[in-house]
Chains A and B, each alone.
Chain A
Amino acid sequence: MAVEEKTIEENSNWQKFWNGFKPYILALVIAFGISGAIIGILGYNIPKAYQTLLFTSFSSQRGFVETLKKFIPLTFATYAFAIPFRIKFFNIGGWGQMLFGGTITAIVGIGLAGLNLPAIIFIPILILSAMLAGALFALIAGFLKAYYNINPIISTIMLNFIAFYFVNFVATNAPWKAPQSGHPMTLKLPEAALLPKVFNQIHFGIVLVILAIIAIYYLMNKTVLGYEIKATGINPDASSVYGIKMKKTLMITFLIAGAMGGLGGGIEVMGVHSRLIEGFALTSGAQYGIFGILTALICQGKPLGVPLSAMFISILLVGADAMQRTLQVPVELVFLTQAIIVLMIVVLRRQAGGSYIE
């Protein structure tokens, strides 16, 4: 067996760092190269397009606030995908969980309007409702997988559509519907149900998202539950042999994921729109859920990687909106670019010996 001992590789820390980093840089270069070529072929000004895409977030205070406004729901949508992804299950339903969380928030908010609750009580109630709603909605998929072996990729997508029509139902029917509105939307939530602004700029959701980042990090790295989730992700068979039951872990990850998604949706309702409005969980023409998947795949769903890569995608999204507004470059191009970035990262990381195997 002496031969096998040679398998232990020892790299310097610097080299390890660079090897870990290289795929990302290469992926960005390739993806931006491709999108640059497309921008050129379509006859737009390439340098200007890039400048808009990358620097709009930093060119003004407004740009930065806009970026944070995307960062908040995106981070929640990313966790919704990232946590079940740790055990190799795909929760494509982050979007549906946002929708459902947001809808329940609106229903509870409008329902309790008569009680004149103070914000300090009202807001926590709504936050909990949003989390609970999202968690239970996601649990459907976890349950169907655990007990009926229904692939979550399919069940969560079906649930997305169900949630979408549910939003439409609530936003167009009494007692929630806003009178005389063309676009489906509900009544405004009472003032005490709305998230206050911090620094007069951005709503309280930014604090909630930071708390969520800390909580998820702590959960995954310090607790038995986090350990069991990670162990199951590495080897479900061995974990099961040693007492970590797949079904339970599976359902817990979907509960946490759903709570994150639901909270993200609730915050959009309470902090941004003040009401439920159809299309509230969309950005740059697509669902937050989809961007959440891309974001999570960029960082392999690592707890602290999530906010970093969510910030990066948020910057691109703000840039993409500006690019469409000022240069008429279709936003879908950025969408495409992001998909290529993810594809390249997955490929390059794997080539560098990373673990993107099934």
Chain B
Amino acid sequence: MDNKSEVKVLETKNISKSFGPVQALDKVNFDLNKAEIHGLLGENGAGKSTLMNVLYGLYKEDEGDIYLRGEKVDFNSPIDSIRNGIGMIHQSSTLVPEFTALENLILGTEGNKMTLELKEAEKKIKQLQDDFGLKFPLGTKVKDLPAGVKKKVEIIRAIYRGANILILDEPTTSLVEKEFEQLLKSLRKMVNNGVTIVFITHKIKEVLKACDRASVLTGGVMQGTVDTTNATKEDLVKLMFQNQEINITESAIPIIDVPEVEKSEKPVLSLNNLSAKSKEKDGTDLKSISFDIYGGEILGIAGISGNGQKELAEVIIDPNNITEGEIDLLGEKVNGLTTNKIFDRNVFYIPEDRKKESILGRGDIVNNVLLGHQREEKFQSNGIIKWKKVRDETQDVIKEYGVKTPDEKQQIGKLSGGNIQRVVIGRALINDLDLLVTHSPTAGLDMASVEFVFKRLVELRSEGTAVLYINEDLDELMEVSDRIGVIHEGKLIEIFNQDQYDKYEIGSKMIGG
């Protein structure tokens, strides 16, 4: 931190980039000092990753110039940026799951390509692991490594390839508090060795904690750069949200008023010692899970991605891979019922991956509103769909949830993420619900949409609905959940009551501590 120099390690001038009609970056100027941790702050969809992908040579800018140590450079592929000492760790793993950590580390490196001699590389890598305190087994297949370890592999990979500018895209999404602090220590060691780090995040407190300077992007426009030593949360909020009136926490979560609500007497959903097989080949099986959710409460489920969250959500709406135990809905055993039968019992589901699992991207809004309801008496008789009824319902959803669209015939994939999620939520709430199962419903949404989603969840709770709210982001969970259960390797480790909330405590449970 002390040996900052005035030479700009990297500088961009007027970088613009659009995807089709969407302007992702608009004349962005950005610069890095040598050996600093530079935060790149902005809400989802602000263009942070796009800007960094341009610097990494993965995207080609439409306009503008990049200067590296004062010299203009032109990157057409990651190989160009890697050779110039830039390394990037993407938000989701870019390691080959079927290969070992070591194989992944040497992938694409220079050297004799007609052999597979790894001894020397291994030695060098072990040295780097020691230097920066980033230990992991080299011979294990990456698919068998936990998410936090994969991050370490990717960081070592970048350093091994000689990166002196290291870009980390939302590195904390798969890390718990303790891991984040360990990571910070390693990053500081690198900075002391002269490495410059870009730290992308949407959480203000991470910037304040980790960074020397921070630049703020909003809607593809650079709002400015601040020195974080003197900056406060309010300064950054102002930059991030300009004129919007939004009340957010340090973790960039809208502050929501969660009223007192009377819980139902009997649980809406009970899992009794439930074990279930994952439907996916490399999925996580559920092991002896027990919990109750009552009407009028939000039960949060915390955990590192891939520890059985998806399986937990799916076994409730499709209780068919159960190996042991039972699921009760309002006191009745539902093992073996089809999804449609479960939905008939006033249950609905909002999955994690919006584009992949929630919507029919090329379908219009009408067809999307019908999805999941297609076998209900309301919308069909004798197998013939009542299209008029579906269209009316769709128009109601559009009106009630404020979906911005020309009409109901609009292809849903062309709407913005926030508008898609409004349709998805509207669809879920067509019928009065006893139970809503939802997995990261706020992922990738801008702040206004996140607020919208939270308000709906809290409203549902007030109406007496039971909400199972799975989210990998602990900050978000703590904001609205009555209780938080921690899931790790398919097991429900512990359930915390609101008065026991502690990020360290819950975080260490999330990684099996």
Chain A–chain B contact at Cβ < 8 A? yes
Give me the interface of A with B, judged by CB distance under 8 Å: 1-10, 222-225, 227-228, 230-231, 234-235, 237-239, 241-245, 355
**B356 in contact (CB, < 8 A):** yes
Q: Is the CB of A224 within 8 A of B20?
A: no
B415-459, CB < 8 A from A: 415-418, 446, 448-449
Is there a chain A Cβ closer than 8 Å to B293's Cβ? Answer: no
Tell me which residues from 60 to 106 in chain B have a Cβ below 8 Å from any Cβ of chain A. Answer: none
In contact, B370 and A243 (Cβ under 8 angstroms):
no
> Mask for B284-320, Cβ within 8 A of A = 1, else 0?
0000000000000000000000000000001001100
A227–B374 touching, CB < 8 Å: yes
* Contact B410–A8 (Cβ < 8 Å): yes
B56 within 8 A of A: no
A1 touches B446 (CB 8 A): yes
Chain A: minimal CB distance from B459 (Å): 22
What A residues does B220 contact at CB under 8 A? Answer: 3
B351 lies within 8 A of chain A by Cβ: yes
CA distance A227 to B362 in the complex (A): 14
Q: Is the CB of A3 within 8 A of B383?
A: no
Residues 350-379 of chain B, each 1 if its beta carbon lies under 8 Å from chain A, else 0? 010000111111110001001110110000
Complex alpha-carbon distance, A231 and B385, angstroms? 14
Evaluate contact between A243 and B375: CB separation under 8 angstroms.
yes
Given A7-B20, A238-B358, A227–B414 Cβ distance below 8 Å? no
| Contact B362–A234 (Cβ < 8 Å) | yes
Q: Which residues of B contact A235 (CB under 8 A)?
A: 356, 359-361
Q: Is B254 an interface residue (CB 8 A)?
A: no
A–B Cβ pairs within 8 angstroms, 19 of them: A1-B446, A7-B21, A8-B406, A8-B415, A227-B367, A227-B385, A230-B363, A231-B371, A234-B361, A234-B363, A235-B359, A237-B357, A238-B358, A241-B351, A241-B358, A242-B372, A243-B372, A243-B375, A355-B362
Instruction: State in angstroms the CA–CA spacing of A223 and B384 once bound together.
Output: 4
A243 lies within 8 A of B340 (CB): yes
- B338 beta carbon closer than 8 Å to chain A: yes
Nearest Cβ on chain B to A167's Cβ, whole angstroms: 36
- In the complex, A4 Cα to B24 Cα: how many Å? 9
Tell me which residues across on chain B come within 8 A of A239, comparing CB atoms.
360, 371
* Residues of A close to B360: CB separation below 8 A: 231, 234-235, 238-239
Cα distance, A238 to B45, chains bound together (Å): 23
Residues on B with C-beta less than 8 A from A227 are 367, 370, 374, 385
Q: Which residues on the B side are within 8 Å of A230 (C-beta)? A: 363, 367
Kindly state whether residue B343 has any CB partner on chain A within 8 Å.
Answer: yes
Q: Are the C-beta atoms of B357 and A8 separated by less than 8 Å?
A: no
Contact indicator B406/A224 (Cβ below 8 Å): no
The answer to whether B346 has its CB under 8 Å from any CB of chain A is: no
Docked-complex contact B384 and A241, CB < 8 angstroms: no
- Tell me the smallest distance from the CB of B158 to a CB of chain A, in Å: 31
Q: In the complex, which residue of chain A has the Cβ closest to the Cβ of B353?
A: A237
Question: In the complex where A1-B416, A238-B356 touch, is A224 in contact with B375 (Cβ < 8 A)?
Answer: yes
Tell whether B469 is near chain A: CB-to-CB under 8 Å: no
B22 at the interface (CB under 8 A from A): yes
The minimal Cβ–Cβ distance linking B313 to chain A, given in whole angstroms, is 9
Roughly how many angstroms separate A222 CA and B361 CA in the complex, as a whole number? 20
Closest partner residue, chain B, to A242 (CB atom): B372
Separation of A1 and B219 alpha carbons in the complex (Å): 7
- Chain A contacts of B358 at CB under 8 A? 238, 241
